[in-house]
């Protein structure tokens, strides 16, 4: 398929902004600019688990939807996980 409008991503929303874990090369420049204007930074998709682990190690909590998160994120969050339905599920 030459063009697929879907992409794999995670988002980590914090009080001061958000991080979108995605292959930024797949985002058009205008999308990256719009995200940046909304205080959303992009990080490599592969860094999502490490970011969750860092939050846990820093004493933070991570809201995870048990019906939507994968084993890797759940394991990275460990006891810092707050399991509840996502407030942003489309």
pLDDT per residue as tens digits for the range 55-71: 999 999 999 999 989 99
pLDDT per residue as tens digits for the range 4-35: 667 788 999 988 899 999 998 889 999 999 99
| Closest residue by Cα to residue 40 from 4, 10, 5 | 10
Beta bridge partners, 40, equal 18
Any idea which of 1-5, 31-35, 36-40 has the lowest mean pLDDT? 1-5
What is d(CA 73, CA 18) in angstroms, rounded to the nearest whole number? Answer: 17
pLDDT value at residue 5:
67
| Closest residue by Cα to residue 21 from 37, 3, 8 | 8
pTM for the model stands at 0.84
pLDDT value at residue 87:
84
Secondary structure letter of residue 56 according to DSSP: H
């Amino acid at each position: 398929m030459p063009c697929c409008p879907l992409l794999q991503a995670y988002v980590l929303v914090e009080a001061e902004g958000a991080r979108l874990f995605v292959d930024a090369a797949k985002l058009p420049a205008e999308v990256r600019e719009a995200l940046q204007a909304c205080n959303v930074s992009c990080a490599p998709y592969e860094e999502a688990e490490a970011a969750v682990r860092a939050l846990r190690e820093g004493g933070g909590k991570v809201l995870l939807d048990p019906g939507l998160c994968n084993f890797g994120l759940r394991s990275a969050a460990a006891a810092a996980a707050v399991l509840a339905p996502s407030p942003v599920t489309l």
